[in-house]
Amino acid sequence: MSIRNGLFSSESVSEGHPDKLADRISDRILDAFLARDRHARVACETLLADQCVIVAGEFRTKDSADYTAVRESAEGLVREVLYETGYTNAETGIDPQRCEIQIRFNGQSQDINQGVDRADGVLGAGDQGLMFGYATDETPELMPAPIVYAHRLVRRQAEVRKVGTLPWLQPDAKSQVSFRYVDGQPTRIEAVVLSTQHDENIALEELRAEVWKNIIAPVIPEHLRAGNLRCLINPTGRFVTGGPKGDAGLTGRKIIVDTYGGAAPHGGGPFSGKDPSKVDRSAAYMARFLAKQVVSRGWARRALVQVGYAIGVADPVSFSIETYGTEASGRRDIAAVLAQEFDLRPQGIIETLNLLRPIYYPTASYGHFGREDLDLPWEAVI
């Protein structure tokens, strides 16, 4: 994002949004595989539509018993995610107890596997593609300000719903925050949008007043509110039908919410449901890790890292870093320095970030980056 002067918006969605619900289910299945086999190969996709959940994908484990165990527990894991998210019956969006669940697990293609688990013992990239990582000093999290505050709004919505402060809230919600940038820095918030699913018996005027009081006001600091702040709460006036009943959900449809809110490019590959051999996920995490090193070390105020891979090949086919003219004095070839310091092959990334663990389910909501509530290795600064 190269905006210097003007408005920039980012959105987020709650854990009960249908697409996020799909991401959560896919990552719950992934974690179940990794808990049994650190080297499991997982590519899990989830589709939700009304009262139906379909979980499908390609999987490989060293011991067939591990595959069978996860396959047999998958339906229970899906129902657990639905309950944990806050759905209780069909009227709220999906019935965890009675909804139809279809499990369609296949083995990983041998054509793919021979390029990943190579005969020479080298781990090849699980797919081709390009990945991006970004960091900026405009927030303590080294994240763009619009996505930080958009995430905070829907997290707050979930918090007040779960503790019963606003018992008429339901799990599905979306937020959007628009910042005014001046000379490349976020200065004030000029628009906030929050749409939240709710019970039918709450009046719109009361809903808007309580959402402002309990969600928006505690999240949006007074010093950041523009004098002409526009606050749009449930602008359509009604949001009773939500979750998979209101809209189908699919793994990987919220990749901009997962990353930088549109402030940086995205290579196109989603994260959820993929084991670390898939560079769509692991290399994107490494790119974020490297971008954070650049900014935290004072080499630049902003950094965009791009890395590219070919399926079955260990060494990246491209690696570059853009600092948007914010590089500190004492110029250096940042990409060359980091390439010498860190191993960008898939195995090197996995070892550097310690990725062969069931740590992915919590990342499926509220973004994969800038998460101060989680101990994520790609957020470390060294």
**Active-site pick, 28, 79, 151, 253:** 253
Mention every residue, 6+ apart, whose C-beta is less than 8 A from residue 283: 125, 131, 307, 309, 316, 344, 346, 349
Torsion sign over Cα 17, 23, 27, 30: positive
Catalytic: which of 59, 179, 239, 271? Answer: 239
Active-site residue, 20 included: yes
Task: List the catalytic residue out of 278, 292, 301, 345.
Answer: 278
> CB of 146 within 8 A of CB of 177?
yes
Catalytic, out of 49, 69, 191, 248? 248
CB-count exposure of residue 187 (10 Å: 0-12, 13-18, 19+): middle
Start-to-end CA span in the chain (Å): 26
Q: Does 198 participate in catalysis according to the annotation?
A: no
15, 20, 31, 302: which one is catalytic?
Answer: 20
Residue 199 is among the residues annotated as catalytic for this protein: no
**Orientation of helix 279-296 relative to helix 346-353, angle to 10°:** 60
Catalytic member of 84, 159, 199, 247: 247
- Name the token pair of 95: 């019935």
Nearest CA-CA partner of 67 in 114, 118, 106: 106
- Active-site pick, 11, 17, 284, 364: 17
Residue from 254, 301, 302, 345 carrying the catalytic annotation: 254
d(CA 16, CA 241): 12
The reply to whether 117 belongs to the active site is: no
User: Residues 45, 127, 258, 379: which is the catalytic one?
Assistant: 45
List phi, psi (to 5°) of 7. -95, 145
Among 15, 95, 280, 379, the active-site one is: 280
Is 17 tagged catalytic? yes
**Cβ pair 351, 314 in contact under 8 A:** no
Q: Is 327 a catalytic residue?
A: no
What element of type H or E holds 197? strand 185-198
Selecting among 60, 156, 198, 274, the annotated active-site residue is 274
Q: What share of the chain is helix, strand, coil (3-state, %, to 5)?
A: 35, 25, 40
Q: Is 280 an active-site residue?
A: yes
- The neighbour count for residue 234, using CB atoms within 10 Å, is 18
Question: Of 19, 127, 172, 327, which residue is the catalytic one?
Answer: 19
Cα separation, 215 vs 217, whole angstroms: 6
The catalytic position among 49, 50, 58, 380 is: 58
Residue (of 82, 75, 131, 149) closest to 105 by Cα position:
75
Rounded CA-CA distance 171/167 in Å is: 11
Is residue 174 among the annotated active site residues?
A: yes
342 catalytically annotated: no
Q: Quick check: is 248 catalytic?
A: yes
Residue for token pair 């699913």: 197
* Catalytic choice (79, 174, 281, 301): 174
The catalytic site residues sit at 17, 19-20, 45, 58, 174, 239, 247-248, 253-254, 274, 278, 280
